Amino acid sequence: MLLFAVKSLSRNKTRTGLTVLGLAVAVMGVVSLLSISEGLRESVISSLEKVQLVLVTSEDAMGPSVSVLDESLMSDVQRVEGARTVAEAVIYPVVVGEERAVTTPVFAMGIDPGQDKSMKNPVISGGLVAGSMFSGTSGHKVLLSKKIADKYKKKVGDTITINGVKYKVTGITDPKISILNSMVFVPLDTAKQYSGKGQDKVSVFFVEPEDPEQASALARRIELSVSGVSANTVSEMAGTAESLLAEIDAFFVLISSFSIVVGALIVMNTLYMNVLDRTAEIGVLRAMGWTKDDVMKEVMLESFVLGIMISGAGIALSHVLKYAVLDNLLTFPTTITPWLMLAGFLLAVTVSLLGGVYPAMKAAGVDPVTAIRTE
């Protein structure tokens, strides 16, 4: 019966082939979306939870890069009980490199190396992997995050163009906080000069708590005693990131469900056409003693075989997409885990079986008498 199903499908190779390809692309889409969300989760959450730090931004700011704080607030924050070290930073978007073609946006962060070093666990220089932190708060010197260094193939001592100005690379760092992962770090005053935020304005304060366990209490106290700011621990940020990821997941699931429905319809169409083409043949099978159930099983088996082919092609295509596109396009790694492949397989088979139900019923309903009389 299996052989018979395979032969039936190979009857119209173009139709079967196009169906398999169409659905394989859908499966590829779903598997890739899931692998992206998986990759996002791993790279964001894991890095966020390693540090206990309070990030102070202006109230109502949508994110650190649009936050604006008055520098004078720094001493107010410093006075809050439980605050060990405060470091200010200016964050602004930049264009890196000579070429105008902007791929992923890069942010520059202006910092005071002295403030950073005075932390127990320096946020920026704590992750140094090569070279050293620049000194002073002015000049065209830059510390690259590892990702940027890799992307633009820069080493310590090289120069890199940022917003059309040449900077000397003094070091490469791999900060533990993921939002800093693909940034470039420049001296604070240089940043103030180019960001356009103003001389006494910065974007955020990093506050190191005396007791890491008390980070969220410190954040609450900062919010209470300093007006106009919002303070979050990075583990709280992990919480928001988690809920954001959940939203992204929900969105991905929505897109995936569209592909599932479309896929089922494609399979249904293909098998339905096959059944229509073979009405006479099915009538002969019935005349020869196949029961309705036998015919039904046969068409469902065809849809199952189709599902196997689709899942094979879909998983193969997902790998192609990952290596050819995603790995170059995304700054975080995506992984196609065995679980994802299993999910892709189950998806393809389920969708095919779903699409097979109606054609199978149609085939079982073929009347042997009319079918063999018409020809």
Q: Interface with another protein by CB under 8 A: which residues?
A: 1, 4, 7-8, 10-11, 280-281, 284-294, 368-369, 372-373, 375
- 65, 207, 235, 251 from 52: Cα distances, Å: 20, 9, 7, 30
Cβ of residue 2: shortest distance to another protein, in angstroms?
10
Nearest to another protein of 10, 337 (CB atom): 10
Cβ of residue 365: shortest distance to another protein, in angstroms?
11
Radius of gyration of the chain (CA): 30
If you count them, how many residues does the chain have?
A: 375
Output phi, psi for 120, to 5 deg: -65, -45
Nearest to another protein of 144, 296 (CB atom): 296
- Rounded to whole angstroms, how far apart are CA atoms 60 and 82? 24
Nearest to another protein of 7, 155 (CB atom): 7
Cβ of residue 285: shortest distance to another protein, in angstroms?
7
Cβ of residue 276: shortest distance to another protein, in angstroms?
16
Distance separating the N- and C-terminal Cα atoms of the chain:
25
Cβ of residue 10: shortest distance to another protein, in angstroms?
7
CA dihedral 185, 186, 192, 193 (to 10 degrees): -140
Nearest to another protein of 25, 273 (CB atom): 273
* Assigned token pair, 312: 């094979």
Nearest to another protein of 186, 285 (CB atom): 285
- Rounded to whole angstroms, how far apart are CA atoms 264 and 326? 27
Nearest to another protein of 45, 284 (CB atom): 284
Cβ of residue 100: shortest distance to another protein, in angstroms?
58
- Rounded to whole angstroms, how far apart are CA atoms 79 and 118? 16
